[in-house]
Amino acid sequence: MAASLDEVKSKVLELFSHMGIHVEIFERMEEGRTVLNLKTPEAQLLIGKQGANLEALQHVVRLLVRDDAGEQVPFALDIDDYREKRQIYLKEIARKAAHQARSSGRAVALFPMPPSERRVVHNYLSLFSDLSSSSQGVDPNRRIVIRVDKKKSKDDFNFIENM
């Protein structure tokens, strides 16, 4: 039987207690899973560069709550709304790059990012009917390339940007 959300929260509190870090847990629903948003004065340290420490902490918590059958509770960790703020930032970068690709008619490559962030950008760019995006390269240097899709008809719906 899979661990319950209460067990996940208990493991999170226990882990951070062993680390000597006080956290408060707040829950929100996002994309069919519970996000455990941790509020702490140690947020910057726990998030790490581009969320690397946060990803590692989430992995550790998943290992701690995995049962013998490998079942998981669908959850994600966030710290001081970092993931939510990062998604807004990534969408803004994608919007600007989409505008640049349209203006120049040339492909625009974004900076390397992990798969979860590339997924956010690809999903956002799917709103633009005249653009296509693809991931190129090998992790950790895999990046998104945005191109104007000339095959699409001019009559297709086109997402309108707010500039």
Q: Which residues contact 138 (CB under 8 A, 6 or more apart)?
A: none
Q: Which residues contact 11 (CB under 8 A, 6 or more apart)?
A: 61, 64, 65
Q: What are the residue ranges spanned by the domains of the chain? A: 5-80, 85-148
For residue 1, what are its two tokens? 């039987």
Class of domain 5-80: alpha beta
Show pLDDT as tens, one digit a residue, over the chain (163 residues).
Answer: 456 888 899 999 999 999 999 999 999 998 788 999 999 999 999 999 889 999 999 999 988 888 655 667 789 999 999 999 999 999 999 999 999 999 999 999 999 998 889 999 999 999 999 999 999 999 889 999 999 987 764 545 555 555 4
Class of domain 85-148: alpha beta
Task: State pTM to two decimals.
Answer: 0.77
Beta strands 24-30 and 75-79, pairing class: unpaired
Strand partners, 26: 37
What single-letter amino acid sits at 58? Q
